């Protein structure tokens, strides 16, 4: 496959960025998108130029660090996968592919295609954990949990924090991410003790960091590589309203 790549290049957060054209040839359809970028970077390095900086780690769809906006979609044209799981057979010989970083005020660009998603870490630090002593790991049947609740908690916990929901939302909302992290605890008994403080603290931190309001377009669910349901946002809203009505503060 011969391809034209239009890639966003930006030296740092303060520099002015621009799209730069590159050509790659003889790319195997079975190559992953990142393997194709590796080939491109090898060509760039051999010419003595600065390679394209992009984020990656596990390359198995687990870590969530691969965060590219490809032809107008987070993680590319295929649903339910991360960028590292995208293969070049999803494109056609001769295609022009646009590659950009996430675009959100709360995700400032570090370099080229890498953004700082530390805002997600700050939201987790605000309350996305269980701080009370819950003892050692109990037997599976020691704490009876309805299957519906355990399934919902596991589905929410599948969120890998990649930021695709923010990147695709026209308001750069982090509601799906925060809702998933709230819900994974809210459905389980271990998370209920701190539930009211947790949801208020995490929502407050989300707002403080500059994420927008939910657009209600379901774009976040559509582009989420783990297909996290927007029903978690409804769950988070109920948890938040309950905390406010009960008058429990964040402290």
In the chain, which residues fall in CATH 1.10.1060.10?
Answer: 117-246
For 124-158, write each residue's pLDDT tens digit: 999 999 987 766 767 767 778 899 999 999 999 99
96 contacts: CB under 8 Å, gap ≥ 6: 3, 4, 5, 6
For 31-53, write each residue's pLDDT tens digit: 999 999 999 999 999 999 999 99
Which H or E run includes 69? Answer: strand 69-70
pTM summary value:
0.92
Work out the average pLDDT over 175-191.
Answer: 95
In the chain, which residues fall in CATH 3.10.20.30?
Answer: 3-39+51-110
CATH topology of domain 3-39+51-110: Ubiquitin-like (UB roll) (3.10.20)
The answer to whether residue 251 scores a pLDDT higher than 50 is no
- Note the CATH number of domain 117-246: 1.10.1060.10
Give yes or no for a contact between 136 and 44, defined as CB atoms under 8 angstroms apart: no
Residues forming a β-bridge with 23: 4
User: Taking Cα atoms as reference points, which of 218, 223, 249 lies closest to residue 233?
Assistant: 218
Query: Could you give the dihedral angle defined by the CA atoms of residues 113, 114, 118 and 120, in that order, rounded to the nearest 10 degrees?
Result: 40
For 55-80, write each residue's pLDDT tens digit: 999 999 999 999 999 999 999 999 99
pLDDT of residue 108: 95
pLDDT of residue 139: 72
């Amino acid at each position: 496959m011969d391809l034209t790549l239009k890639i966003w290049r930006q030296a740092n957060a303060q520099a002015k960025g621009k799209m730069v054209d590159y050509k790659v040839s003889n790319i195997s359809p079975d190559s992953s998108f990142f393997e194709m970028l590796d080939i491109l970077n090898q060509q760039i390095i051999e010419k003595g130029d600065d390679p394209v900086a992009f984020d990656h780690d596990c390359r198995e769809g687990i870590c969530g660090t691969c965060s590219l906006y490809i032809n107008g979609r987070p993680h590319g044209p295929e649903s339910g996968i991360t960028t590292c799981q995208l293969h070049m057979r999803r494109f056609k010989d001769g295609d022009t592919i646009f590659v950009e970083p996430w675009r959100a005020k709360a995700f400032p660009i570090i370099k080229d295609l890498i953004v700082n998603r530390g805002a997600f870490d700050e939201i987790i630090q605000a309350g996305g954990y269980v701080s009370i002593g819950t003892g050692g790991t109990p037997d599976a049947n020691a704490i009876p949990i309805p299957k519906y609740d355990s399934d919902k908690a596991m589905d929410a916990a599948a969120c890998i924090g990649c930021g695709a929901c923010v990147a695709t939302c026209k308001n750069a909302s982090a509601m799906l991410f925060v809702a998933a992290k709230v819900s994974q605890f809210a459905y389980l008994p271990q998370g209920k003790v701190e539930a009211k403080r947790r949801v208020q603290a995490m929502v407050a931190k989300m707002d403080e960091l500059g994420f927008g309001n939910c657009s209600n377009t379901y774009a976040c669910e559509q582009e989420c590589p783990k297909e996290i349901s927007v029903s978690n946002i409804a769950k988070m809203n109920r948890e938040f309203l309950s905390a406010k009505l009960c008058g429990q503060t964040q402290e």
